[in-house]
Amino acid sequence: MDLLADYLWLIIALPLAGAVALHFGGKFLPEPLPGIAAAGAIGTAFLIAAAAFVPLATGDAEPHVLMLWDWMPGLGAAFEIRWDQLSALMTLIITGVGTLIHIYSIGYMHGDPRFSRFFTYLNLFAASMLTLVLANNYAMMFVGWELVGLCSYLLISFWFTRPSAAAAGKKAFVVNRIGDFAFIVGLMLIFTQFGSLTMSETVLVHPGEVLSPGTATAIAILFLIGAAGKSAQIPLYVWLPDAMEGPTPVSALIHAATMVTAGVYLIARNAAIFELSPVALPIVATVGAATALVAALIAVGQNDIKKVLAYSTVSQLGYMFLAIGSAGYVAGVFHLMTHAFFKALLFLGAGSVIHGMHEEQDMRKMGGLRKAMPITHATMLVATLAIAGIFPFAGFFSKDEILAAAFANGGYYLVLWGVGLFTAFLTAFYMTRQYIMVFWGKPRWVEGLTPHESSLWMTVPLMVLAVLSAGAGFLNTPQLHTLEDYLEPVFEALNPAHLESELPRILGMDGLAFGLAIVSLGVAVIGIGSALFVYARSS
C-alpha cells in the first residue's frame, strides 16, 4: 500500500545527487540551468515526501524504519531512515520551504560568477538537513548535524573574498562544534547506556527502562548544549548574527527552515529522555525564555535589515525551546513550522529589498519602498503581522499555544510565561519598526539609487510563502487540532511526571485558553501600536 516506503532514501539522495552533479558539471551549464536543476532536485524530493506523507497522515501507512547500510557495527551505528509523523513533517517543511528558496535564489544570485556553486551548496545543505531529520540513528543524525554545520560554513563564507564572510563562516562552524562537543559526549552516554546508537523504541519512548534520572539529566543537558549550538541559544547564539554575511537566501534557508531548527528537533525527538530528568525540561524552558527575551531586546536596536531578522530568529527559537521545555512539543513543532514560513518570507523579502536597493542593508537609508516594490511590501506585511502574532496569521496560533503551554505548567513556569509575553510585545515592536523604516516614510536612499521590484523568480516564492504565513495557523487552532492529532503517535507516551498539570489540550474547552489568546493578541497589538507611535510619527 505504501509504494514509496523503500524509496524514501531518494529524499536525501536527490538533493545530494544534485549537489554532486552540479559540483562537477555545474560550471558547464549556463545560468539559470544549475538553479533549475537544483530546485528540481529538491522539488522532486518534496513531491516524494509529500506522496509518502499522505498515507501517513491519513493513517493508511504506519511509521517505519528503512535500513540502508551498516556503518559502525560495533556501535550500532547505521544509516537508517525513520519515517514517522515528526520526521515526515520536518521533511515537508525542509523540502517545501527549501524548494521556494531555491527558486528564489535563481533570481537572487543572478550574475554571480559562482552561480552554480551556490546551488551545489544549497542542495548539499538540504540533503544534510534531511539526513539529520530522517535519521533513525544517532550516528547518522550526527552526520546530518555536522554536515549542516559544514554547509553553513560553506554558504556563510560563500563570498570568501570578503574577510568578514570567511570569518563568520568559520565562527559558525567553530561555535557549532562547541555544541557538537556536548552532543558527542551525549552520544557516548547513549551508547554506554543503551549499547547501541539506534533510536530504538526504548530510547525514544521508554528510556526509563534503562536510564536513571541522573543519567537522563546528563544526556539531556548535553543534548541541550548541542541543540543550543545549532539553534543559537544562549550562550552559543553568537554565530548567528554574524552569519548574515552569507547571501540572503542562505539566511532564509539556514535561519528559517533548516539548520537552526535542528536543535528543536533534537530535543523534540528525545523528549522522553528529557522528561525522565527532573530538571531538564525547566532548564530548556529557561534557556529558551532567556534567549527569546535577550535576542528580542537586541533586535530592537538593530539598524541592519538582516540583523534584525537574525536576532528575531534567535528570539523565536527561544520560543520554541520554551515550548518544548514546557512539554508543549506540538506547540514547539507547530511554531517551528509557522516560523519557517514567515521567517523565510521575511528573509527573502529582505533579500528582495536588498536586491532592489543594490546591496544596501542599512534600514536608515531606506524608507518609502512600498511603492517601488509593491509585491515585496505586501508579502513583508503579511510576514510582519504573522510574526507579531496578529490573528489570524500563522504566528498568532503557534505563539499562543506556546504561551498557553508555559502557563499551563504553573509555578515557576508562570515567570517564563511572563517573559514570553513580554517578548511577544518586543517582537511586535521591532518587527513593526522594521516594516515602517523600510517601507514607509520618506525615501532616505543614497543619491542616484532607483529601487526596483525583483524578478518573478523571487516574487513568486514570496507570494507562496505569504499565503502559507497567513494560513498555516489554522492547522492547529485550539478547536481544530489537526497537527496535534497528527503528531500524537510521536508524543502520546510522554507524560512528564514532574510537571504540575496536564498538557493543556483541554484548555481549548474553557475560557482560559481564549483569555490567554486574547492577552497575547493584546500584547502584540500594543507592541505594534507603540512602534507605530514611535516610528510612524517620526518618519
Partner 1 sequence: MDFPMLSVLILVPVLAAVIVMVLPANRTELHLPVALVLSLLPVGLAGVLFARFESAAGFQFVEQAALIERWGISWHLGIDGIALPLILLTTVLVPISIAASTSIAKSPQLFLAMVLLLEAGLIGVFSALDLIVFFVFFEAILIPMYFIIGIWGSENRIYAAIKFFLYTAFGSALMLAGIIALSVLQQQKTGFASFDYNELLTLEIAPGTQAWLFAVFGIAFAIKVPMFPVHTWLPDAHVQAPTAGSVLLAGVMLKLGTYGFLRFNLPLFPDAAVKYAPVVATLAVIGIVYGAAVAIVQTDLKKLVAYSSVSHLGFIMLGIVAFTQSGLDGGVIQMVNHGITTGALFLLVGMLYERRHTKLIADFGGLQKTMPIFAGVFLFSTFASIGLPGLNGFVGEFLVLVGSYATRPVFAIIATAGVVLAAIYLLWAYERVFTGEPDKPENVNVPDLNLRETLIFVPLIILILTLGLYPKVLLNRIEPSTAAIIDRIEATTDFVEPTFVIGEPSE
Which three three-digit cell numbers place residue 462?
Answer: 514570496
User: Please, what is the minimum distance in Å from the beta carbon of residue 160 to partner 1?
Assistant: 4
Which one of residues 53, 104, 173, 393 is an interface residue with partner 1 (CB under 8 A)? Answer: 173
* Contact pattern for partner 1 over residues 220 through 259, marking x by CB under 8 A: ----------------------------------------
Helix or strand or coil: residue 236?
Answer: helix
Options 4, 189, 283, 536; binder of partner 1; rule CB under 8 A = 189
For partner 1, give the closer residue by CB, 142 or 407.
142
CA-based nearest residue to 434, from 268, 250, 260, 310: 310
Least Å from the CB of residue 397 to partner 1? 37
Q: Would you state the cell numbers that stand for residue 499, as one nine-digit string? A: 510537571
Task: State residue 109 phi and psi, 5-degree precision.
Answer: -90, 10
Task: Using the structure block, give the residue that is written with the C-alpha cell 548574515.
Answer: 244
User: Out of 211, 273, 436, 531, which residue is the one contacting partner 1 (CB under 8 A)?
Assistant: 211
User: How far apart (Å, rounded) are the C-alpha atoms in residues 313 and 255?
Assistant: 7
Half-sphere exposure of residue 169: CA atoms within 13 angstroms, side-chain side: 20
- Among 189, 265, 190, 256, which residue's Cα sits nearest to residue 227? 265
Give the number of residues in contact with partner 1, rule: CB under 8 A: 50
> Of the two residues 77 and 394, which places its CB atom closer to partner 1 in the complex?
77
Is 209 a binding residue for partner 1 by CB under 8 A? The answer is yes
What is the rounded CA–CA span in Å between residue 537 and residue 535?
5
Q: Is 127 within 8 Å of 46 (Cβ atoms)?
A: no
Q: Of 156-164, 242-250, 316-324, 370-378, which segment contacts partner 1 by CB under 8 A? A: 156-164
Residue 490 CB, nearest approach to partner 1 (Å):
21
Residues 69-108 that bind partner 1 (CB under 8 A): 69-75, 77, 79
Shortest distance, position 138 Cβ to partner 1, whole Å: 10
Tell me the torsion sign for CA atoms 71, 77, 80, 86.
Answer: negative
**Cα dihedral 419, 422, 424, 429 sign:** negative
- 249 grid coordinates: 537566501
For residue 166, the minimal CB distance to partner 1 (Å) is: 3
Query: Is the peptide bond prior to 30 cis by the omega test (within 30 degrees of 0)?
Result: no
Nearer to partner 1, 68 or 536 (CB): 68
Candidate residues 11, 21, 45, 143; the one interacting with partner 1 per rule CB under 8 A? 143
In angstroms, how far is CA 2 from the centroid of its own chain?
Answer: 29
Q: Pick the piece of the chain touching partner 1 (CB under 8 A) from 194-202, 315-323, 337-345, 412-420.
A: 194-202
Cβ neighbours for 403, distance < 8 A, ≥ 6 positions apart: 417, 420, 421, 424, 516, 519, 520
Q: Does residue number 137 form part of the binding site for partner 1 (CB under 8 A)?
A: no
Binder of partner 1 out of 153, 237, 342, 457 (CB under 8 A): 153
Interatomic CA distance for residues 151 and 74, integer angstroms: 29
CA distance 522 to 133: 36
Positive or negative: CA dihedral 5, 11, 14, 16:
negative
**Residue 197 contacts residue 188 (beta carbons within 8 Å):** no
Q: Which stretch binds partner 1 (CB under 8 A): 36-44, 203-211, 365-373, 464-472?
A: 203-211
CB 203 within 8 A of CB 284: no
The stretch among 180-188, 272-280, 340-348, 445-453 that binds partner 1 (CB under 8 A) is: 180-188
* Pick from 179, 412, 408, 182: nearest CA to 282: 412
Of 140-148, 230-238, 474-482, 522-530: span binding partner 1 (CB under 8 A): 140-148
142: contact with partner 1 by CB under 8 A: yes
**Binding of partner 1 at residue 195 (CB under 8 A)?**
yes
Stretch of 88-96, 173-181, 434-442, 522-530 contacting partner 1, by CB under 8 A: 173-181
Report the nearest approach of partner 1 to the CB of residue 158 (Å).
11
270 near partner 1, judged by CB under 8 A: no
Span near partner 1 by CB under 8 A; candidates 187-195, 266-274, 286-294, 515-523 = 187-195
- Residue in 145, 321, 393, 435 binding partner 1, rule: CB under 8 A: 145
Spacing of C-alpha 8 from chain mean position: 22
Q: In this chain, which of 110, 170, 370, 498 binds partner 1, going by CB under 8 A?
A: 170
Which residues of the shown chain bind partner 1 in the complex (CB under 8 A)? 69-75, 77, 79, 139, 142-143, 145-147, 150, 153, 157, 160-163, 165-167, 169-170, 173-174, 177-178, 180-181, 184-185, 187-189, 191-196, 200, 202, 209-212
